[in-house]
Structures are given as structure tokens and as C-alpha cells.
Amino acid sequence: MTKPMLYVDFNEMLEPDLALLSTSDTKTASNGALVTLEAGQEVTVYMDDIDEHGNSDNLVATGIVEANKTGGWGTHVKWCCRIDANGILHQSKR
């Protein structure tokens, strides 16, 4: 089974390996499918980016969905993605 590809903003990380994912139990994947989020689910997250020549080269990471347990400015978010040890890389480097 292919992991859903979900948009995130890597500029708004709660921790170095924790991305905000969704304020609700669902999120629309890059292919338009509605994905129901649950703890432990494997996902791919991405953010639009370009290379030094102006070509599309998205930032991409894989990780596991987890409930948001952080405090502070991100408390309104229900689900996060804990990015795995591979980190965030440009798609061309994966």
C-alpha cells in the first residue's frame, strides 16, 4: 500500500522532527483523496519548493502520524507527523 502524500509547511515545525499535519481527522492528499488520519499511520509529507534554476523540486519527508501533545502556539493542531531519521530532503535527492 502506498503512503498518502500530504502537504505540510516545513516552516512551521513544532520540533526539529515534528510537523503540523491537520486540525481535523482528515486531510486531502496530493492525489485528491480524502485521508482519515490515525496514530501510527505512515505518511509522506511534502512542501512546494524550487531548485536554484527555478525548477520544481519539492521538499519531502516520511514519518508517522501522532496526536499533538505539544503546548504553545500549535495547540490548535490535532495531528502531527513525526519525521523519520531520513529527515527532510528535496525530492531530487530521495
Per residue in 72-83, pLDDT (tens digit) is 888 999 999 999
Q: Predicted confidence band at 61 (pLDDT cuts at 50, 70, 90)?
A: very high
How many Cβ atoms from other residues are within 10 Å of residue 83's Cβ? Answer: 21
Q: Predicted confidence band at 71 (pLDDT cuts at 50, 70, 90)?
A: confident
Distance of CA 58 to the CA centre of its chain: 12
Determine the Cα–Cα distance for residues 74 and 35; give it in Å rounded to an integer: 21
Determine the Cα–Cα distance for residues 54 and 18; give it in Å rounded to an integer: 28
Q: Select from 27, 16, 28, 17 the least CA-distant residue to 77.
A: 27
Distance of CA 37 to the CA centre of its chain: 12
Mean pLDDT of the chain: 95
Q: Predicted confidence band at 44 (pLDDT cuts at 50, 70, 90)?
A: very high
